[in-house]
Structure 1
């Protein structure tokens, strides 16, 4: 399929009530598709609000279109959202420790490549924290600098271990032994319809 066909197929798969964070609907996107505004249409489609979860195939089609347009960050985002469509969404407000307080000395890249460990409330049989791994996607920025705070999305390696979390819960980020950040859960949403 070409870009137009992929974007049109994704638009056709959009669930009832589809709305972007900016309030745009499927009709707005179809108008841009008719005007051959492929990148604009892709941008609107990937901006779908978390309140309107889309099926995995929707995100796969968008990833293919973004690949054809050579939009690497959009490709990564669509793959991320496909993962969320299967496993649910975990958003959190992450505050990184400052380097002088034992925190990271380099920024967290924004595109989900860092896989730190998290203390999420589980214990080993010896009573020690049983850490879990989750990738981080930094929202609204290309990176999260040391000592800064920002919104992140988490993609757990074992999603079922994270199902007990609710908004307001605090989890601790680890990279080695010492904690390097605290995150407050903002929202936990279920997987998308199939």
Structure 2
């Protein structure tokens, strides 16, 4: 296990001498590491990304540490956060159509492996709809079943095609010719780094 990678990520935490009661510090992470609680330390560091934006190097260090610990889901999540740091965050409230109204009969995987097509309003010069591809990450659950509703994160194949989206805009998801679900945009955040994707 590469302790330096976790410590490199932890070095971005609040210094002990200026920490408030609710801040996570490098000493908190170090305490878990010294007690061989690697996964707890990693999980603690992963949660920091929801508090404030963190640099690409933070997510890269965590992804490397997770890969070395053979924690596939954590590694995938940290790589996802690397993508979002470079390209921005798109969060949406996705409702899948129930079985019988779309071709999906089983839950869709929530860990970023599905790459459905989306009608986000783009058109050809002739006025026909253009579908754009984006990976899908379902928040807080490993999958989403037909008829279900979840908050999702989208990672577009071509982020430049998605720049016109606004909160509350509704887009549709397609896994084939039929509409598989609708999503209302909840949040759009710009990239936090200028590093190329």
Answer yes or no: same fold by TM over 0.5: yes
Contact 1:3-1:38 at 8 Å conserved across structures: no
Q: Which position in structure 1 is the counterpart of 2:10? A: 11
1:192 corresponds to which residue? 192
3-state SS of the aligned residue for 1:135? strand
Cα displacement string for residues 124-149 of structure 1 (whole angstroms, at most 9, x for unaligned residues): 11211111100001111000111111
**Alpha-carbon RMSD:** 1.9
Name the counterpart of 2:155.
155
- C-alpha change, 1:189 and 1:135, in structure 2 (3 Å) is same
Runs of 5+ consecutive residues of structure 1 not aligned to the other structure: 17-22
Which position in structure 2 is the counterpart of 1:19? none
**Does the aligned pair in 1 maintain the 2:94–2:181 contact within 8 Å?**
yes
- The equivalent of 2:181 in structure 1 is 181
1:91 touches 1:153 (CA, 8 Å); kept in 2?
A: yes
Residues 103, 181 of structure 1: 8 Å contact kept: no
State the aligned residue count: 187
Match of 1:132 in 2: 132
Structure 2's unaligned 5+ residue stretches are 16-21
Q: Distance in 2 between matches of 1:175 and 1:187?
A: 23
Deviates more, 1:28-37 or 1:145-154: 28-37
Q: Give yes or no for contact 1:93–1:152 (8 Å, CA) kept in 2.
A: yes
The answer to whether the Cα contact below 8 Å between 1:98 and 1:147 also exists between their aligned partners in 2 is: yes
Provide the TM-score with structure 2 as the length reference.
0.87
